[in-house]
Amino acid sequence: MKKLNRYDALALGIITASIVLSLKRLNFFPTFVDIFYHMSAAKGFEIAGGVVLHDFWEFAPAGRTHLYPPLLHVIMTFMSEFLSILTVGKIISFIMFPLVQLSTFFYTREVFNRKTAFYAVLLITIPFNFYRSQALTNATSLVLVLTPLIFWAVEKNKLLSSVILMSLALYTHISMPHIIGAALLLYAVLNKEKRKLIMKILGFSYLLFLPWAIHILTNYGDIRSETFGTILQSEIHLIPMFFGFIGLVYCFLKKKNYYLPAMYFLSMIVILYKYPMRFWAHIALGISILGGISLSEIENVILRNQKRYGLRVGFTTAVLLLIGFNLFDPVFSTTPLGNELENRDPIILTLIKGDVSSSLITPEIMDLCRIVEENTDPDDIFFITNPPIGCLITSVTGRSQMQGMWREIQPELKTPPSAAKLFIADARFIEEAKKRNPEFLRNAIYVEKVGTYTVFLNKYKFVIGKSTIPDLVFPKILAYILLFGGMIGLMWDYRSSTS
């Protein structure tokens, strides 16, 4: 790896500052509710002893087909061998943004130059909606961390690293890795020198992914497709977007290895069709790389026109942009005022001001976990009117819930809430249920009230459903061996090229 210079110091300084400020805002993590699903899935893998193809911890007792690729859950299961699941969730939510900063820095520095790396890191550290999305869309966030590393491996003609990294991405998320695959295919069309390598990479990677791909295709009919948001529902950060589009044009003019970030940006546009709100957040990665290329070239022009003081002027420009971009972030937003994703300050400034919401893990929710654990056995089922909170309770207690997140996949026959051992309902649900049926709590014993939730125990044990653990398809010890084997392969491949 190249020796560090002052541009590297600026880039690493930005990364360090965002990490330190994030550590001061640890109450922000884990944020939103997506992490609760991943925590509950990791708990399910832990209970089952490894990877299973049926989700028994949600929509119990029938459960549902488990189609979510397992890599993140395997990583979290391994971490939970040494840490509490709450700590694991906090770490996973916290770490994804600094990791994508570092992987972007590594790729742009090794493939392009130090200035490009600095500007790419600077631009990716502007939009707060990207910072927040890295904290909340955990599996997608891991794919975004892997993306620059895959691009680095392709540009450096490293077949082994490319296959390992692409396979890891495929086993992380059900759709995002195929965006990378599409970008590589487009790159192969435009760059003859990389065509054979890319075909090998995709061929080997998808061959390794074949077992899970078959599982998804076999059960594809279970997925109920949905579209989230509209194309006009957006939050566009104008500085990264402006320089990103300049970089997009520049990459087409430069050709060769400049094509890949451009192809990645174009491939991501497909997300607009199904999940536009995610698009406007996740596009920050591609836009920042392209913007880093354009800003680096703009500075080079300054250097060429300043014979005597060019280096000083160029670096001074970099420092001024560093300060300016971290103070001012013009945003074009169509999200409703007060929307939790809307924030018009850059990441660093937002963290300094401390204007971020706290995690949903509250003392009241932890109290619900205690009540569930005290009043149920391991195979008992509980019902709660808030499925994401149910996932959190499952991850802490190991008890299965009767509802679930990701409702794109649900069992055809659902067990009525009256079959649950424990019934947890908010005040509004109880009020509306009493209007429909004044006797609906006749068979329930009041246990405790926590915040807005009231807990009841079902006194008729013969109607209570039980959670059943499905057959194991891949023991966790083998999953750990494969995971660490892949890490060793990456380190060996990297060291062999630098020695």
Report whether 353 contacts 336 (CB < 8 A). no
| pLDDT band at residue 16 under the 50/70/90 scheme | very high
Same domain, 104 and 240: yes
Q: Assess if residue 497 is contained within a domain.
A: no
Place of tokens 């075909």: 199
- What per-residue confidence (pLDDT) applies to 307? 59
Distance CA 45, CA 73 (A): 8
Of the candidates 20, 90, 59, the residue with the CA atom closest to the CA atom of residue 391: 59
- What per-residue confidence (pLDDT) applies to 223? 79
pLDDT in tens, 289-309: 999 999 998 888 777 766 555
DSSP string, 356-388: -PPPS--HHHHHHHHHHHHH--TTBEEEES-HH
When mean pLDDT is compared across 228-232, 396-400, 439-443, the lowest value belongs to 228-232
- What per-residue confidence (pLDDT) applies to 316? 79
Same domain, 386 and 334: no
Same domain, 191 and 282: yes
Secondary structure of 99-145 in the HEC alphabet? HHHHHHHHHHHHHCCHHHHHHHHHHHCCCHHHHHHHHHCHHHHHHHH
| pLDDT band at residue 462 under the 50/70/90 scheme | low
Q: Assess if residue 483 is contained within a domain.
A: no
Distance CA 242, CA 291 (A): 8
4: tokens are 């560090």
When mean pLDDT is compared across 219-223, 309-313, 354-358, the lowest value belongs to 309-313
Distance CA 401, CA 425 (A): 13
417-429 average pLDDT score = 87
Q: Of 357, 378, 402, which residue sits at a domain end? A: 357
Helix axes 192-218, 176-190, angle to 10 degrees: 150
- What per-residue confidence (pLDDT) applies to 1? 60
Backbone angles phi, psi at 355, to 5 degrees: -85, 65
Q: Is the pLDDT of residue 212 over 60?
A: yes
Q: Assess if residue 495 is contained within a domain.
A: no
3-29 average pLDDT score = 91
Secondary structure of 238-286 in the HEC alphabet? HHHHHHHHHHHHHHHHHCHHHHHHHHHHHHHCCHHHHCHHHHHHHHHHH
Pick the residue with more confidence: 486 or 430? 486
Q: Is the pLDDT of residue 330 over 60?
A: yes
Distance CA 122, CA 317 (A): 13
| pLDDT band at residue 339 under the 50/70/90 scheme | very low
Distance CA 190, CA 119 (A): 26
- Cis bond leading into 61, ω under 30°? yes
Same domain, 313 and 376: no
- What per-residue confidence (pLDDT) applies to 340? 43
Same domain, 163 and 288: yes
141: tokens are 């966030």
Q: Assess if residue 473 is contained within a domain.
A: no
When mean pLDDT is compared across 145-154, 369-378, 453-462, the lowest value belongs to 453-462
Question: Tell me, what DSSP letter sits at residue 81?
Answer: T
- What per-residue confidence (pLDDT) applies to 237? 84
Question: Tell me, what DSSP letter sits at residue 307?
Answer: T
Same domain, 342 and 368: no
Alpha helices in 191-237 (DSSP H): 192-218
pLDDT in tens, 130-167: 998 999 999 999 999 999 999 999 999 999 999 999 99
Helix axes 310-325, 276-305, angle to 10 degrees: 160
Report whether 279 contacts 272 (CB < 8 A). yes
Distance CA 348, CA 142 (A): 22
- What per-residue confidence (pLDDT) applies to 345? 83
Same domain, 108 and 137: yes
Q: Of 312, 334, 357, which residue sits at a domain end? A: 357
Q: Is the pLDDT of residue 480 over 70?
A: yes
Same domain, 327 and 180: yes
Q: Is the pLDDT of residue 341 over 70?
A: no
Same domain, 238 and 323: yes
Report whether 184 contacts 201 (CB < 8 A). yes
Report whether 144 contacts 44 (CB < 8 A). no
Same domain, 119 and 252: yes
Q: Is the pLDDT of residue 325 over 90?
A: no
Q: Assess if residue 280 is contained within a domain.
A: yes
pLDDT in tens, 67-114: 999 999 999 999 999 999 999 999 999 999 999 999 999 999 999 999
Distance CA 106, CA 97 (A): 14
pLDDT in tens, 213-226: 999 999 988 877 66
Beta bridge partners of 55: 64
* Domain total in the chain: 2
- Cis bond leading into 261, ω under 30°? no
- What per-residue confidence (pLDDT) applies to 221? 81
Same domain, 146 and 217: yes
421: tokens are 């051992």
Q: What percent of the chain has pLDDT over 90?
A: 60
Q: Assess if residue 489 is contained within a domain.
A: no
H/E run at residue 445? strand 444-450
Of the candidates 70, 173, 77, the residue with the CA atom closest to the CA atom of residue 398: 77
Q: Assess if residue 328 is contained within a domain.
A: yes
Helix axes 71-79, 85-111, angle to 10 degrees: 120
Q: Mean pLDDT for the chain? A: 88
Report whether 235 contacts 331 (CB < 8 A). yes
- What per-residue confidence (pLDDT) applies to 310? 55
Q: Is the pLDDT of residue 240 over 60?
A: yes
Q: Of 331, 357, 383, which residue sits at a domain end? A: 357
Q: Which residues constitute the domain of residue 352?
A: 6-30+70-357
Question: Tell me, what DSSP letter sits at residue 401?
Answer: E
Q: Assess if residue 59 is contained within a domain.
A: no
Q: Are strands 64-65 and 54-55 parallel, antiparallel or unpaired?
A: antiparallel
Q: Is the four-CA dihedral 116, 118, 119, 120 of positive or negative sign?
A: positive
| pLDDT band at residue 337 under the 50/70/90 scheme | very low
Same domain, 132 and 256: yes
Q: Is the pLDDT of residue 125 over 90?
A: yes
CA-derived radius of gyration, the chain: 25
323-341 average pLDDT score = 68
Q: Is the pLDDT of residue 342 over 70?
A: no
Place of tokens 């109607």: 463
The residue type found at 102 is L
Q: Is the pLDDT of residue 335 over 70?
A: no
